[in-house]
């Protein structure tokens, strides 16, 4: 992108801020989003971030990149892979932006060793609610914002530029898919791999899992390699998540992908959600343009469904109930993984389920500016010395009459009972007191008072819960 083009993008951003009436809430003028919760319509123009969608520069020697806040991971990876480098955590979908993954939460199969995307940020320029662009680092006068920015979802400001660490990657990833017929055995094996970074004598660089049922679940282990050889392609007729499956007792199934295709293995079919659109039907898939087998196109289909209530209308014609959307990612301590999965499989009729272990990056030096160094990211206070497992499930269940959000409320209560958290990109139903306890409470209000004193940005509770 270069600094000149970036400066032009910043100028357009600031001009758009000044054009928003003082009484109006400041929001982004984005046509797309990876949020599943309802966004209230904004009658006023939004922030122009169209010039902030690229990588500014890559320093291959220092293994860092300067990146504009609205750069998608698709563009970011395209800029770094030619140097044999990649972001330390690359969320699963191409259209997720770096700024979105930091102010929200991102996760992937490197998170058991690299933590979450915001932990590889070295410094960040933030447009605050007052229209000022400030630079926050772990040690400067704005360290409180640096640590408070993750999980603030644009309510403390919007990222304009981020300097991030990169890591070296090899051209290929060798995969092993290990089947489990017992969830507790899977939990135990996953915990051991997180601690030892190896399995059966081989290094493990990537780790995630897929649960089809209580007696069919898989851990997928990835190892970087420079060895040339045949690779699989899951961007056409073959479907990645189906490639994991094999009979119990068999030798773990092996596979190989290019590093590029590994990073985007889930995007082609939006994990498994493309089946809702018929894209996994072989007859349909043969006719489906390959360029439209990607998450960004499925988002457009979701948009049409929201606008015209297509799924609910079809259900009504069939005499079926309307759907309650259950699209969530939650984290529970690893020792509660089986407890949660067994409860979920017994109460929520959704499968498959994605698993992704994580530990906060203990190599990150935490300043005391946030007031709680034992939990360095106060708006999503995971413990640095504890392993968690992200559980992702994305589908719908029949509506419970008289109780909107019934399934989602059950999930929230169960996650809290197991000392877990859930991401805020989708529907939430917490009371104000529950939300305070889980997502920063008084700490958030201090940050809000300092960086958005006039309330130009939405409040986090209002944005994550009240908007629906």
Polymer length in residues for the chain: 468
Instruction: Report yes or no on 337 lying in a domain.
Output: no
Instruction: Report yes or no on 50 lying in a domain.
Output: yes
Instruction: Report yes or no on 148 lying in a domain.
Output: yes
**DSSP state, 236?**
S
Q: Compute the radius of gyration of the chain from its Cα atoms.
A: 22
Instruction: Report yes or no on 130 lying in a domain.
Output: yes
Q: CA 293, CA 275: separation in Å to the nearest integer?
A: 11
Instruction: Report yes or no on 81 lying in a domain.
Output: yes
72's CB contacts (< 8 A; 6+ apart) are: 53, 94, 95, 96, 97, 98
Q: Is 22 helix (H, G, I), strand (E, B) or coil?
A: coil
Write down the pLDDT at residue 404.
87
pLDDT tens digit string along 179-201? 999 999 999 999 999 999 999 99
Write down the pLDDT at residue 302.
85
Q: CA 8, CA 201: separation in Å to the nearest integer?
A: 52
Question: Can you give the residue range of the structural domain that contains 32?
Answer: 2-168
Instruction: Report yes or no on 185 lying in a domain.
Output: no
Total Cβ atoms within 10 A of residue 399: 18
Phi, psi of 286 (to 5 degrees): -60, -30
Write down the pLDDT at residue 310.
66
Write down the pLDDT at residue 369.
45
Write down the pLDDT at residue 400.
92
CATH of the domain at 133: 3.30.465.10
Instruction: Report yes or no on 192 lying in a domain.
Output: no
Average pLDDT, the chain: 92
Write down the pLDDT at residue 2.
87
CB 147 within 8 A of CB 99: no
Q: CA 211, CA 391: separation in Å to the nearest integer?
A: 10
Q: What is the mean pLDDT of each run of 10 residues along the chain (468 residues)?
A: 93 95 85 60 82 97 98 98 98 95 95 96 96 96 96 96 98 98 98 98 98 98 96 97 94 96 97 94 96 92 73 69 90 98 97 97 56 71 93 94 93 96 92 94 95 95 79
CB 355 within 8 A of CB 194: no
Task: List, as one string, the DSSP characters of 100-122.
Answer: HHHHTT---TTHHHH--GGGGEE
Residue 353 parent element (H or E) = strand 353-358
Q: Is 286 helix (H, G, I), strand (E, B) or coil?
A: helix
Q: How many structural domains are present in the chain? A: 1
Query: What number of H helices and E strands is found in the chain?
Result: 16, 16
Instruction: Report yes or no on 286 lying in a domain.
Output: no
CB 151 within 8 A of CB 379: yes
């Amino acid at each position: 992108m270069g600094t000149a083009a970036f400066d032009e993008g910043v100028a357009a951003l600031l001009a758009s801020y000044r054009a928003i009436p003082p009484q109006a809430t400041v929001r982004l003028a984005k046509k797309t989003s990876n949020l599943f919760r309802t966004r209230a319509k904004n009658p006023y123009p939004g922030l122009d971030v169209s010039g902030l969608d690229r990588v500014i520069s890559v320093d291959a020697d220092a293994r860092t990149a300067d990146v504009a806040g609205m750069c998608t991971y698709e563009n970011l990876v395209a800029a770094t892979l030619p140097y044999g480098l990649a972001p330390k955590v690359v969320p699963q979908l191409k259209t997720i932006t770096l700024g979105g993954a930091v102010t929200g939460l991102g996760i992937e199969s490197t998170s058991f060793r690299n933590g979450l995307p915001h932990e590889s940020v070295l410094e960040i320029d933030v447009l605050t609610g007052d229209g000022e662009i400030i630079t926050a680092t772990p040690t400067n006068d704005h360290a409180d914002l640096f640590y408070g920015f993750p999980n603030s979802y644009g309510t403390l400001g919007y990222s304009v530029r981020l300097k991030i660490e990169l890591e070296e990657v090899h051209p290929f990833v060798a995969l092993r898919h290990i089947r489990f017929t017992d969830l507790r055995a899977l939990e135990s094996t996953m915990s051991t791999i997180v601690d030892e970074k190896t399995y059966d004598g081989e290094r493990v660089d990537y780790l995630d899992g897929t649960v089809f049922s209580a007696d069919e679940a898989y851990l997928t282990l990835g190892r970087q390699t420079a060895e040339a050889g045949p690779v699989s392609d899951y961007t056409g007729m073959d479907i990645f998540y189906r490639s994991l499956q094999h009979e119990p007792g068999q030798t773990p199934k092996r596979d190989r992908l290019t590093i590029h295709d590994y990073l985007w293995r889930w995007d082609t079919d939006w994990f498994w959600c493309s089946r809702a659109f018929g894209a996994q039907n072989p007859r349909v898939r043969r006719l489906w343009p390959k360029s439209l087998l990607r998450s960004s196109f499925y988002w457009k289909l979701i948009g049409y469904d929201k606008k015209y209530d297509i799924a609910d209308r079809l259900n009504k014609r069939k005499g079926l109930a309307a759907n309650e959307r259950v699209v969530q990612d939650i984290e529970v301590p690893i020792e509660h993984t089986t407890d949660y999965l067994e409860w979920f499989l017994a109460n929520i009729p959704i499968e498959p389920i994605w698993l992704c272990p994580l530990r906060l990056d203990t190599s990150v030096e935490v300043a005391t500016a946030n007031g709680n160094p034992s939990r360095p990211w106060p708006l999503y206070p995971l413990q640095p010395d504890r392993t968690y497992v992200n559980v992702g499930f994305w589908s719908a269940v029949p509506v419970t009459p008289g109780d909107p959000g019934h399934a989602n409320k059950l999930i929230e209560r169960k996650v809290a009972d197991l000392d877990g958290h859930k991401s805020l990109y989708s529907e939430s139903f917490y009371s104000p007191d529950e939300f305070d306890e889980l997502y920063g409470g008084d700490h958030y209000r201090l940050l809000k008072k300092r960086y958005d004193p006039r309330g130009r940005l939405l409040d986090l509770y209002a944005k994550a819960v009240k908007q629906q």
